[in-house]
Chains A and B, each alone.
Chain A
């Protein structure tokens, strides 16, 4: 079975600072990895996904993530935080043959301060 661990349930950064949200996965087969964002009282919006085509994945709103097999990691970064980035971020994993079932991490609440 596959799983995801997100280190840090709350992360606080200053506006303009680097955003780094950590995600480590566990999977016995090649994984597909996703980052979703959730704003208050809303559903999940896909930021980016890794499907083995390229290890550095660029997503929406300036976010990107790098798949590192040796570290079993898929950390999310953004060079410069904006107030509008404040939200909860979820890392998720799935595998081929598992249908569209996503296994989510526990989420990281990002706070952006002036």
Chain B
């Protein structure tokens, strides 16, 4: 079974631009979560989607948004990029959204975003 795929793997943008990152979950997985990883703040939860609905959201400004499609693929968008948005953005998928327990999440390789 193919793992979680993220595109693109590397991206360079300038301040003020916007960016869209894509994540394809493992086949059959319906829950997708996004995390931001930076040297200063570490790994931080952005949001989680299931059945095209955002179920959970981290403490990030409204410039960060996401969506999920009917085939469970997900995109996240960052508008008006700032230098501090430079990070590795990781996507993780799991079969279910963890309503009772916490499902094991499988991470993709990430998209490394550099904002100049």
Partners in one complex: yes
Contact B90 A100 (CB under 8 A): no
Which residues from B are CB-within-8-Å of A98?
Answer: 56, 98, 102
How many residues of chain A get a CB closer than 8 Å to chain B's CBs? 25
**Do A96 and B56 have beta carbons less than 8 Å apart?**
no
| A51 to B102 CA separation, bound complex (whole angstroms) | 8
A-B pair number, CB within 8 angstroms: 71
User: Is A69 an interface position by the 8 A CB rule?
Assistant: no
Listed by A's residue number, 29 A-B pairs whose Cβ atoms lie within 8 Å are A32-B101, A41-B109, A42-B109, A42-B110, A43-B108, A43-B109, A44-B90, A45-B107, A49-B102, A51-B101, A96-B100, A96-B101, A98-B56, A99-B56, A99-B97, A99-B98, A99-B99, A100-B97, A101-B33, A101-B48, A101-B56, A102-B43, A102-B45, A102-B102, A103-B45, A104-B42, A104-B43, A104-B44, A105-B42
